[in-house]
Amino acid sequence: PIPTNFRFGTGLSFAFDEFNSLNFVVDFNKDLIDRDSTGSASWYKAIFSSWKPIEIDLTVNDDEDDVEKVGVFRQLTIGGGLEYWYNKLFALRGGYFYEDPYNGNRKFLTLGAGIRYNIIGVDFSYIYALEEDSPLANTMRFSLLLNFAG
């Protein structure tokens, strides 16, 4: 099944004057997937049944059993960021992403910039992975925004 997520977060904005503003944001994400050795639950059941600790089998050889119990809070991914805007025209961004080692172990920093003019915006971001051999290492993303709402 397609993974379902529950995401919640908050942000604070500070306008220093008419030209300079700073935004702080943080969000938490929980995958709503209930999977065991017999398969996975359907998405509508997993929305409710995924809120429980999971057991990760760390057995290296058949001689000993090593199981790590990962609670619900350790299953959350955490992202936080800071965004500076000058004159609602130019932005600089930085952020951090964390995932528990037993839940995927992704950790990375993000850096970015953006420009807005009239209805057009262009954004750039760069991911700097903090673990070795990450498939996300040195990822660059570009986006184009058309804001017809004015």
Number of domains in the chain: 1
Q: Return the minimum-mean-pLDDT range out of 61-70, 75-84, 136-145.
A: 61-70
- The span from the CA of 80 to the CA of 96, in Å, is 5
Read out DSSP for 8-19?
EEEEEEEE-SSS
Structural domain boundaries enclosing 139:
5-146
Q: Which residues pair with 54 in a beta bridge?
A: 70
22 confidence band (pLDDT: 50, 70, 90): very high
At residue 117, does pLDDT exceed 60? yes
Residues in the chain: 150
62 confidence band (pLDDT: 50, 70, 90): low
At residue 65, does pLDDT exceed 60? yes
- pLDDT of 63: 60
Summarised one tens digit per residue, pLDDT across range 28-61 is 999 888 876 677 778 788 888 888 888 887 766 6
Q: Which residue has the tokens 């709503």?
A: 32
Report CA dihedral (135, 50, 97, 144) to the nearest 10 degrees.
70
pTM confidence score: 0.84
At residue 15, does pLDDT exceed 90? yes
Q: Stretch 71-98: mean pLDDT, rounded?
A: 96
Between 30 and 63, the more confident residue is 30
- pLDDT of 68: 81
